[in-house]
Amino acid sequence: MRERRFPDGFLWGTATAAYQIEGAVSEDGRGPSIWDTFSHTPGKTFEGHTGDVACDHYHRWPEDVRLMQQLGTPAYRFSIAWPRILPQGTGQVNQRGLDFYDRLVDALLQAGVTPFVTLYHWDLPQALQDRGGWAERETVEAFAAYADIVARRLGDRVKHWITHNEPWVVAFLGHYLGVHAPGLQDVRVAIQVSHNLLVSHGHAVQALRAAVPDAQVGITLNLSPVRAATDSEEDRLAAQRYDGFLNRWFLDPVFGRGYPQDMLEQYGELAPTVEPRDLDAIAAPLDFLGVNYYTPAFVRHDPSEANLLNLALLSPEELRAAGYETTEMGWAIVPDGLYELLTRLLHEYAPRVIYITENGAAFADRLVAGEVRDPRRIAFLRDHFAAAHRALQEGVPLRGYFVWSLMDNFEWAHGYSKRFGLIYIDYETLERIPKESYAWYAEVIRANGLVEPGR
Ligand code: IFM
């Protein structure tokens, strides 16, 4: 038998986000968010899918908590929908929105599940977007006020707080590529937004610490090792630029180093306006770093496209031709990338604690005779858990691992066409059907690691 046990108290979990699972978009006083607007705009999401109903978690949460309890997960990461708490983004607080999360937190704690709360997982109140959204400092201050309101209500029971989920995605997919809400395509705005998000993170950290003195506070970044397509000097430099764009642009300021010089030079006059004390705010000491890892980025120099960085990412076809297995998202499956990323973080940034706040895979799951067999997801998770275990052996302070996702859900622009869940959702009936990977993960949690035949 080969045993890979994780440290005692390791927090195995699952993760979700409000807009992806809740539905009930007009209930109990919730205001509209930018994702309501975006998903209802023709042509923006797969077959016009929206989060109007999603998994109906807003009504079915007791069942979902029971499923977590059966799974045996000691932790659950979910996000709060800002427009449920402040329908206009600022001002009048909607108590019914807070009540929903209050009940959820109580039920989780009763089920023995530690809640990890993310404050911003992309559903900005539309009212704030109407006044310029994340491009404006008003939204930075509004976020800190919202953090304070939520922390005061839940902070007696919630001790783990994540300010932002994947600010790179918000800034660049939302404001440069325009494939996420609010759907803008303005690189200057996108870069300013990336800065404003980080400043808002810093201000929210202060608000959280003031309201919940024993809080553990972190930020979740989507990070990837970057690999050059070839050994050529040009591709190597392209990989360095992409690393600056995706990883270092966020890690460096959060860890107190300011923005990376090479990227400031790269952006030139597009570099963001930074106000005095912004960098100090962004560098507020953190209790943990949240890491979302799915795949490395494979990059080649590409001057032909008039893009920001003169580079291109390899396509799924190219990745498969190079021998990589890919998921339904077209992402290469590279468990070693997780090891590489975690050990790099240890050596270059030395975070106090790391949680893997998301890792998982979409596959074309099918419900057959009432069952969903998903051996590829099991293999994916097994190999990534093994990579995380290897990183632990090297001293990486990894304390928990949240599988994305508890259940199939609204995969943003892909709508419901991509399934990441351990639990299958029948979108006709909203029935929850645990997949084979759910039972397998329950065993991992019970054993606190991987116990497999072989050496
Ligand atoms: O579904 C998303 C999640 O909202 C953020 N991280 C990546 C996941 C899969 O694409």
Compute the distance from residue 123 Cα to the ligand 1 centre, in Å.
Answer: 13
pLDDT at residue 111, rounded to an integer: 98
Segment holding 56, helix H or strand E: none
Neighbouring C-beta atoms of residue 232, cutoff 10 Å: 12
CA distances from 21 to 107, 304, 429, 454 (A): 17, 40, 15, 39
pLDDT at residue 304, rounded to an integer: 83
- For 395, phi then psi, to 5°, come to 100, 5
Confirm if 114 and 137 have CB atoms less than 8 A apart.
no
Q: Is 166 a catalytic residue?
A: yes
CA distances from 320 to 229, 314, 326 (A): 13, 10, 7
Cα separation, 77 vs 404, in Å, equals 10
Q: Is 358 a catalytic residue?
A: yes
Neighbouring C-beta atoms of residue 394, cutoff 10 Å: 11
Task: Give per-residue pLDDT as tens, 281-340.
Answer: 999 999 999 999 999 999 999 988 667 899 999 999 999 999 999 999 999 999 999 999
Q: Is 420 helix (H, G, I), strand (E, B) or coil?
A: coil
Contacts of 132 (CB under 8 A, 6+ apart): 138, 139
Order of strands across the sheet that contains 311-313: 226-228, 297-301, 311-313
Confirm if 365 and 419 have CB atoms less than 8 A apart.
yes
Report the percent of the chain where pLDDT is more than 90: 98
Domain ranges of the chain: 2-452
pLDDT category at 455 given cuts 50, 70, 90 is: low
The residue contributing the CA closest to ligand 1 atom 9 is 411
Q: Ligand 1 atom closest to Cα of 329?
A: 10
The residue contributing the CA closest to ligand 1 atom 2 is 411
Neighbouring C-beta atoms of residue 74, cutoff 10 Å: 17
Cα separation, 64 vs 279, in Å, equals 40
Q: Ligand 1 atom closest to Cα of 20?
A: 4
Cα separation, 421 vs 444, in Å, equals 17
User: Residue 311 forms beta bridges with which residues?
Assistant: 301
Considering only residues 454 and 122, tell me which one the structure prediction assigns the higher pLDDT.
122
Ligand 1 — pocket residues by CB below 6 A? 17, 20, 166, 292, 358, 404, 411, 420
- For 425, phi then psi, to 5°, come to -110, 125
pLDDT category at 143 given cuts 50, 70, 90 is: very high
Tell me the CATH architecture of domain 2-452: Alpha-Beta Barrel (3.20)
Compute the distance from residue 410 Cα to the ligand 1 centre, in Å.
Answer: 9
Confirm if 85 and 19 have CB atoms less than 8 A apart.
no
Q: Ligand 1 atom closest to Cα of 222?
A: 6
Compute the distance from residue 64 Cα to the ligand 1 centre, in Å.
Answer: 19
Q: Shortest CA distance to 405 belongs to which of 145, 15, 7, 107?
A: 15
Task: Give per-residue pLDDT as tens, 67-84.
Answer: 999 999 999 999 999 999
Half-sphere exposure of 289 (CA within 13 A, CB side): 25
pLDDT at residue 369, rounded to an integer: 97
pLDDT at residue 1, rounded to an integer: 86
Q: Ligand 1 atom closest to Cα of 122?
A: 4
Choosing from 78, 79, 166 the residue with most ligand 1 atoms within 8 A of its CB, the one to mutate for a pocket test is 166
Neighbouring C-beta atoms of residue 206, cutoff 10 Å: 15
Long-range contacts of 50-53 (CB under 8 A, 24+ apart): 50/410, 50/415, 51/19, 51/20, 51/22, 51/23, 51/25, 51/410, 52/23, 52/25, 53/23, 53/430
Set 22, 328, 340, 358: catalytic member: 358
Q: Which residue has the tokens 């912004």?
A: 278
Contacts of 238 (CB under 8 A, 6+ apart): 228, 299, 300, 301, 302, 309, 310, 311
The residue contributing the CA closest to ligand 1 atom 1 is 411
Compute the distance from residue 231 Cα to the ligand 1 centre, in Å.
Answer: 31
Task: Go through the chain and tell me how many residues it has.
Answer: 455
Compute the distance from residue 411 Cα to the ligand 1 centre, in Å.
Answer: 7
Confirm if 181 and 120 have CB atoms less than 8 A apart.
no
Cα separation, 243 vs 223, in Å, equals 9
CA dihedral 216, 128, 408, 381 (to 10 degrees): -40
Cα separation, 355 vs 383, in Å, equals 17
Compute the distance from residue 202 Cα to the ligand 1 centre, in Å.
Answer: 23
CA 73 to chain centroid, in Å, comes to: 19
Q: Which residue has the tokens 């059907």?
A: 433
User: Residue 356 forms beta bridges with which residues?
Assistant: 291, 401
Cα separation, 283 vs 279, in Å, equals 6
Whether residue 213 has a cis bond before it, omega within 30° of 0: no
Q: What is the mean pLDDT of residues 214-225?
A: 99
Choosing from 122, 326, 327, 404 the residue with most ligand 1 atoms within 8 A of its CB, the one to mutate for a pocket test is 404
What's the mean pLDDT when you consider all of the chain? 98
Task: Give per-residue pLDDT as tens, 45-60.
Answer: 999 999 999 999 999 9
> Is the pTM higher than 0.85?
yes
> In 294-435, which residue ranges form alpha helices assigned H by DSSP?
316-321, 335-349, 375-393
Torsion sign across C-alpha atoms 320, 326, 329, 333: negative
- Helix 375-393 and helix 436-447: axis angle, to 10°? 20
Does residue 453 have a pLDDT over 90? no
